[in-house]
Chain A
Amino acid sequence: GNSVTQMEGPVTLSEEAFLTINCTYTATGYPSLFWYVQYPGEGLQLLLKATKADDKGSNKGFEATYRKETTSFHLEKGSVQVSDSAVYFCALSTNTGNQFYFGTGTSLTVIP
C-alpha cells in the first residue's frame, strides 16, 4: 500500500543551524511528493513539491529532492530562522484515483 513515514519530533534548533527532516515513502507507481507547513493556529500551506524522480522542489530556502532509489524526500534548509518554527508534513499523491497520504508531522522550534 501507500504510506509516508517522517522523522518524529520535536526538533529544536538554534537560529542559523542546518535543518534536515527525513521523509520516506511507500507507493505503487509514480507518486507526486509534497511538503506542507503549518504555523500555529493556521491551516496547512503547500511549501514545495516534486512530481517525478530527481526533481528538486524549492521554496523560501527549503529544498527537497525526489529520490526514487531510496524512496525519500528529505526536507532541508541551510540556515533556519525563528520564523520557521512550525509543524512540517510530508505527503504523497498517487496519480491515479487521487489518493493523498500525509505523514504524522514534525514539529520544529527554532530558538534565537
Chain B
Amino acid sequence: DAGVIQSPRHEVTEMGQEVTLRCKPISGHDYLFWYRQTMMRGLELLIYFNNNVPIDDSGMPEDRFSAKMPNASFSTLKIQPSEPRDSAVYFCASSLGPGAQYFGPGTRLLVL
C-alpha cells in the first residue's frame, strides 16, 4: 500500500499568490481529513470529508481557504490569496470508517 500521498512536499510562494495542495488517500478509505500544524497552534483540523462530501469545515480559518474532493481518490486544499501567516505544514489523512487515521508526509508551505 502506497499510503497517503501528498504533493508538493514543499512550496514557497509570495504573498497574494494562489496555492493548491493535493492529496491522494489510501484506496478504499471513506474519510479524508485536512490538518494544519504550526509551532504556535499545534495540530488543527481544517475540514473532513466522508464519501467525498464535506462534513465539517468549521476549522477552515477564512474564506481564503477552500477544499474539494471531486472523487474518492483525490482532494485539494486551496488558499487564495495566500498570506505569510498561512505558513505551516499541511497534512492530509484518511481512514476507513471511525477508526485510525493514516497521515501523509505533509506539505511544508512558506509564504513570503
Contacts and interface: CB of A to CB of B under 8 A. Distances in A.
Instruction: Report if A and B associate in a common complex.
Output: yes
Interface of A: 32, 34, 36, 42-46, 49, 89, 93-98, 100, 102, 104-105
B106 interface: yes
Interface of B: 4, 31, 33, 42-43, 45, 48, 50, 91, 93, 95, 97-106
Contacts, number: 45
A36 B105 CA distance: 14
Contacts of A46: 100-102
Nearest to B92: A43
A44 B100 contact: no
A74 B15 CA distance: 43
A34 B105 contact: no
